[in-house]
Amino acid sequence: MNVSTDSSLSSSYRICNNCQKVVVEKEKALIGRHSSSGPSSFIPEDEILEAVDANTELLLVEAYSPCRGLDHLTHVMSLHPHYLKTFLQSQFYLLWMDGPLPLHFRHYIAIMAAARHQCSFLVAMHVQEFYQIGGPVEWLKGLQHAPERLRNLNEINKILAHRPWLITKEHIQKLVKTGENGWSLAELVHAVVLLAHFHGLASFVFGSGINPKGDAQSHDTSFQPVNPCLCDLAEDGSLEPEGVFSSSPKTLDSVSELEALMDRMKRLQEEPEEEEASQEEMATRFERERKESLLVGSGAAFEDKVESTSNLSRFVEDSTFGYQDFARHGEDDLPTFRAQDYSWEDHGFSLVNRLYSDIGLLLDEKFRTVYNLTYYNIASHEGVDTTTLRRAIFNYVHCMYGIRYDDYNYGEVNQLLERSLKVYIKTVTCYPERTTCRIYHSYWRQFRHSEKVHVNLLLMEARIQAELLYALRAITQYMT
């Protein structure tokens, strides 16, 4: 946020240059925390730099990022170097190694995917790489200037980004059987993985408050990211955002919230259910959690749709199409996606690997790495098994997308995920462009920033896997 002093006001006030709201001067410490120049606008720069092994990070980027150096996304993700390696390996393979699609198609698809969520950070990055590999500049004027084959991807791009449960084998058939503009199944799988990857990555960018780097827009100055204003912290219009960085009662209560979470985790691990629940009871618990997710709003204080900015709208068609809850009130016609009927491990993995060699192995390693990633600590506590918490976060994302695991007790979700965390998860996963500094700081106030970045990695990969499950099931149905 840029602020200036107005002599007509008391020296204890400043004016936000972005939105012209008055901001209390005593929030100067908070302004410093809400960085606009470091890797993240949510995380103090010194905390990232202290935690990151620069040598390891540089080696990884040099090996897996041919067109750019250390960017802010890599810096933040470097808080978890073991995961970063699997991420860079899979992304490098998707964008640069031998595959069904030509390089310029890959980066254009990345632009299309990121634009669905108005993620100017990713759009600018791949516009730059599109330039550097010699892609047709005319295409960057907008979708209408791109080849028909790419324009035909718009339908599954918007469905996968916002309501992946709507994709059917008819969508696949339409893309494959369109004459000279048709897609082979191998090309389509490559495109689908790219779309899911960059939809999920947009969630991580917004969820972690990633800032642009100075040269990110060097080739096209129209892709300027919308930096979150400090005023996002006071969406109710108040001058003093309560409970974010202050020592309010809410912040003091965060200690007891942490202890309560620790107790619930310990109880779930040490006291299994007295009786094994029936399949009917397990299904009931899933339906209850799925319907309760309807009551969890996004981080925005209002439900108005965020309008697409003009510089990104050129890559978006049907911009009014957005997320709608899978389990809407009074709608029972959409069947639950049972993971036992079509899972990544038993079905998706083999299909992807068959049509696009080796990407299945890289994706699988990435999913397993983030799901099993642990340092055996939580906030100030050490020697903690966080398995139940990681599983609850991952499965809650899939629950919102209508995916059910028959062997999971969804009662654990309500026991482990507080409402403020559910709001954050739903916002970052379903409406990432609405993410603000306020909701980032509203949950787990005793936790390290690296732990919140770990949450964002789980959300990103859970979302990517959910999109892939729906798309690959549709491809399998088309093939059979």
Which residues does the annotation mark as catalytic?
A: 119
Residue whose entry in the numeric block shows the structure tokens 């890797």: 39
Vertex 48 angle, CA 45 and 51, to 5° = 145
> What gap in Å lies between CA 136 and CA 131, rounded to an integer?
8
> What gap in Å lies between CA 49 and CA 389, rounded to an integer?
27
Residue whose entry in the numeric block shows the structure tokens 């609405």: 434
**210 DSSP 8-state letter:** B
Q: How far is CA 189 from CA 62, 176, 196, 476, in A?
A: 28, 11, 11, 11
What's the token pair of residue 78? 């470097």
Q: Are 25 and 55 in contact (CB under 8 A)?
A: no
User: Amino acid identity, residue 168?
Assistant: T
Largest distance between two CA atoms of the chain:
73
Beta bridge mates, 13: 24
> What gap in Å lies between CA 275 and CA 400, rounded to an integer?
27
Helix-helix angle 185-207:359-372, to 10 degrees: 30
